A and B are shown apart, each in its own frame.
Chain A
Amino acid sequence: MKSREVILENLRRSLHRQPRDGAEGAVEARLLSPQRNIVPQRGQLEGEELLELFIRQATTVDATLARVSSDDEVPEAVADYLKQSNLPPRIRIAPHPDLQALPWSAKAPLLQVAEGRADPEDLVSVTPAFAGVAETGTLVLHSGAETPTTLNFLPETHVVILRASQVVGAYEEVWDLLRATYPQGLPRSVNMITGPSRTADIEQRLELGAHGPRRLHIVLIEDERSEHGQQSPQ
C-alpha cells in the first residue's frame, strides 16, 4: 500500500488539493450521472437512413452483409454464405437461446452445428450481437454465459446475426442500453468490432486477417420497423 499513498500524496500536492475543496462533489456528480458530449449529426439519423448508414459504414471496412426478412431465413443465409466463400459446412454457434431456436436442421440440413466456446480448430463461428452502431458500422458484442468471447476472435470467419431493431446511431446509445441491461456493472468483456482483423504493419499496406477473423459477415434480420429501438437487445 505504500506506493499508493506516495503517488496519491504527490498528485494532491501537485494539484494543491485542499480538504473539502468541493472537487469531490464535481467528480461524484460526473460519475453518477454521465453526460453526453457532442454526438455527431450522422449518429442521430433514424429509420431507413440509419440502417443504410450502418450498412454503408460496415461494408466500407470490408465486412460483408446479407439481409433477410425473418429468423427462419437465417440458417439458409449462413449456409449460402459458407458455400460462396468455399468454406466447409461446419459452424460453432454461441449457446444463446435466439441462435439455438433457429431451424438449422430444417432449413440447412447439410450444416453441422456445434455450440459452446471456440475450439482452435473451428473455422466459422456464429454469434448474436448486443447492438450495431451506425456512425462507424460497428458491432457491439459482450461476454456472458450465452456468448463466449473466444467465438469473436479465434475462428477465421465470424458470422454475426443482427436485428435491424438493434441498430442505433451513436456509441452513447449503447452505453445507455448496457447500463439499463446490466445495472450491476459492465460484462467482463465488451467488444466493439468494426470490420475484420487487419494490419498495415508491413510497408503501410492493408492486409486483412492478421490474428482475428479474416472475414466478418453480418446477417441482418429486417424485423418490424415499428419496433425499432423498442425491442430488447439480444
Chain B
Amino acid sequence: MQPTSHAFKENARRALDDSLLQKAMGHVRTNFIQKRAEAAARLPEFDQLRDQAKAIKDHTLAHLDLYLERYEAKVLQQGGKVHWCATAEEARQTIISICRSLGARKVTKGKSMISEEIALNDCLEAAGIEPIETDLGEYIIQLRKEPPSHIIAPAVHVNREQVEADFRRLHQELPPERPLAEASQLVHEARQVLRQRFLEADVGITGANFLIAETGSSVIVTNEGNGDLTQTLPRAHIVIASLDKVVPTLEDCATILRVLARSATGQEFSSYTTFSTGPRRPEDPDGPEEYHVVLIDNGRSAMLGTEFQDMLRCIRCGACMNHCPVYHAVGGHSYGWVYPGPMGAVLTPSLIGIEEAGHLPNASTFCGRCEAVCPMRIPLPKMMRHWREREFEQHQAPPKARFAIEAWAFFAKRPRLYRWATGLAVGILGRAGRRQGRFSSLPLAGGWTAHRELPAPAGRSFQSLWAERQGKEGRHP
C-alpha cells in the first residue's frame, strides 16, 4: 500500500468531518476500554503477569539470533520448511513461488498484519492467484478495497448499514429481497459465502501471534475459527511472521497469552488458540500436506540494539489505540499506512522512514494512556519523543515550528527575561480577556482558535503566584 502518512494533517481534517466515521469510532471509545478494565480487574495477578511478559520478551530479544536458530531447527525436524526473507519483496516472491509450486489458484487467508505490511494481496492478484480474506472484518474491507483501520478490528470504521450495502452490491447471486439489516444476518451471510471458499482453496495463509522455539510451533489466536479452517482444509499452510514473534517455551507463551486477550478485547481468553507444528502426519486423517514458515525481517533487525528495540516487544493487541484520544478522533486511516495509533506512530517511522512518517510521532497529546495499558510495558510516549528529536536534528521539522522552538529556547535559557516576558504576555492577555474569560480569535493562535476557544490567563504567571504563596508560608522560593 502506498503510504499517505506524510499527509496526516489533511487525512485527519477529512476524518474529523466524516460523520459516518465519527459514528463508527464511538463504538471504540465505549466498548474496548471498559471491557479491558473489567478483565484486568478480574485477575489479581494481571500487573505481575505484564512484568513477566515484558521480561520474557526482553530476554528473547537479547538472544534473538539463538532462539531463531533453535526455532528453525525444530520446524525442520517436524517436517516443515522455513524461508528467511530480508525484505517485503523477497517475502512476496517466496510466497508466490510456493503457491506456484502447488499450482494454486485460490488462497484463503487468516487475518495478518504482516500480510498488510508486505502488501501481499496485490501481489498475489498480479500473479493470477486469488486471495480471499476470511476474517469477517478483513473480508469487509477487502470488498470495500480499503486498508484496515485497526490492528485487531480492521473494519472498526465501517457502520452496519455500510456493510449491508456492500453485501447487497457484491453478493449478487443471493436474492435481492433478503433481510440483511441485523448484524446476525450479515454474519450468517458471510459464513455461507465464505464456507464455499474455504473448501475450494488450494493454500491457506495465516499470520502468527507467536513462534515457539522449544517446539517449532506457530500459534494463532482468533475468535471466529476462520484461521483454523484456513490452515486445516487446503493442501498447504503458509505461516507469515516477523522475526520478533519468537518466544522460548510453551510456559513463556502461556504467560503472554494471559495478558493478550484481556488487553485486546477484554476476553479472558480468545475462542481459539491454535498451536501448529509441521505438516500432516502419516496417520492424520486431515490437515495440510505442506507447512511453510516465511520468516520476515523487513526492518526489525535494524531496530534491535537501538532506542526503538522495546517496540519489538509489541504483541499487536491494539490496547494503545483503543485508549488513544487522537486515534478516537481521527480513526486508523488518517495514519496513512498499515499500523495506526500510538504503536503505529512509533513503528511506522522505523519501517518506512521518518521522512514519510514524521507527522505520526507528533500526533499525540502525551496523555500516557497508551503506555499505562500496554501489556508489554512499551514506553510509547518516550519513543515518540525520540522520533521528534530525530526529526528536529535532521532538520525535517517545518521552519515555523523550528523558529518557535528556537525562540522559546532563547527565552527559556534566560530565566529573568523569560519571567519578564511571560509576565507581560499573561498580564496583557489577562486584561484583554477579563470580560469573557476566553478568546474566540487571537493573532498567531489561529490554529487553536479555529476549532475551540482559548481560555484567558489569570492575569499573573504561575511563577509569580507561586513565589507569592511561598513567601506567605515564610519560605523562599
Contacts and interface: CB of A to CB of B under 8 A. Distances in A.
Contacts of B183: 202-203, 205, 207
A185 B78 contact: yes
A194 B269 contact: yes
B214 interface: yes
B267 to A, nearest CB: 8
Interface secondary structure of A, over-half rule: loop
Contact of A211 (B64, B90, B137, B226): B226
Contacts of A20: none
A16 B305 contact: yes
Interface stretch (A69-77, A148-156, A223-231): A148-156
Contacts of A153: 225, 228-229, 232
B254 A172 contact: yes
Nearest to B227: A211
Contact of A212 (B214, B229, B250): B229
Interface string A117-129: 1101000000000
Contacts of A36: 251
B441 interface: no
B362 interface: no
Contacts of A135: 268
A172 B65 CA distance: 26
A204 B159 CA distance: 10
Interface residues of B, number: 102
B250 A175 contact: yes
A31 B278 CA distance: 19
A148 B287 CA distance: 8
B286 A148 contact: yes
A40 B353 CA distance: 42
B225 A197 contact: yes
Contact of B284 (A17, A24, A185, A188): A188
B90 A3 contact: yes
B251 A172 contact: yes
Given A7-B297, A211-B134, A152 B228 contact: yes
Contacts of A204: 27-28, 31-32, 153, 156
Interface in A1-54: 3-4, 6-8, 10-12, 14-17, 23-24, 26-27, 30-31, 34-38, 40-42
A197 B243 CA distance: 29
A189 B305 contact: no
Interface in B128-152: 134-137, 140
A7 B82 CA distance: 13
A15 to B, nearest CB: 6
A210 B223 contact: yes
Interface stretch (B13-21, B42-50, B426-434): B42-50
A14 B305 contact: yes
A175 B215 CA distance: 11
B279 interface: yes
Interface stretch (A79-87, A104-112, A138-146): A138-146
A34 B216 contact: no
Interface string B263-298: 001011111111111111101111100000000010
A86 B31 CA distance: 34
A199 interface: yes
Given A149-B232, A189-B232, A3 B86 contact: yes
B257 A202 contact: no
B254 A185 contact: no
B269 A136 contact: yes
Contact of A10 (B153, B229, B301): B301
Pick from B49, B243, B277 the residue with the most CB of A within 10 Å: B277
B67 A27 contact: yes
B65 A17 contact: yes
A30 to B, nearest CB: 5
A185 B212 CA distance: 12
A61 interface: yes
A32 B215 CA distance: 11
Nearest to A35: B251
A199 B68 contact: no
A88 interface: no
Question: Closest 9 CB pairs between A and B?
Answer: A212-B225, A210-B224, A14-B305, A201-B137, A34-B249, A4-B84, A10-B301, A14-B304, A145-B283
Interface of B: 24, 27-28, 31-32, 43-45, 48-49, 52, 56, 59, 62-70, 74, 77-78, 84-86, 90, 134-137, 140, 153-156, 159-160, 163, 183-184, 186-188, 190-191, 194-195, 198-199, 213-217, 223-226, 228-229, 232-233, 243, 248-252, 254-255, 257-258, 265, 267-281, 283-287, 297, 301-302, 304-306
Interface of A: 3-4, 6-8, 10-12, 14-17, 23-24, 26-27, 30-31, 34-38, 40-42, 57, 60-61, 95, 116-118, 120, 135-138, 143-145, 148-150, 152-154, 170-172, 175, 178, 185-205, 207, 209-213
25 contacts: A6-B86, A27-B70, A30-B249, A31-B249, A34-B250, A34-B251, A37-B49, A37-B255, A42-B43, A95-B285, A117-B285, A120-B199, A172-B250, A185-B74, A185-B77, A185-B215, A186-B277, A188-B279, A196-B271, A197-B272, A199-B136, A199-B137, A200-B223, A203-B159, A210-B224
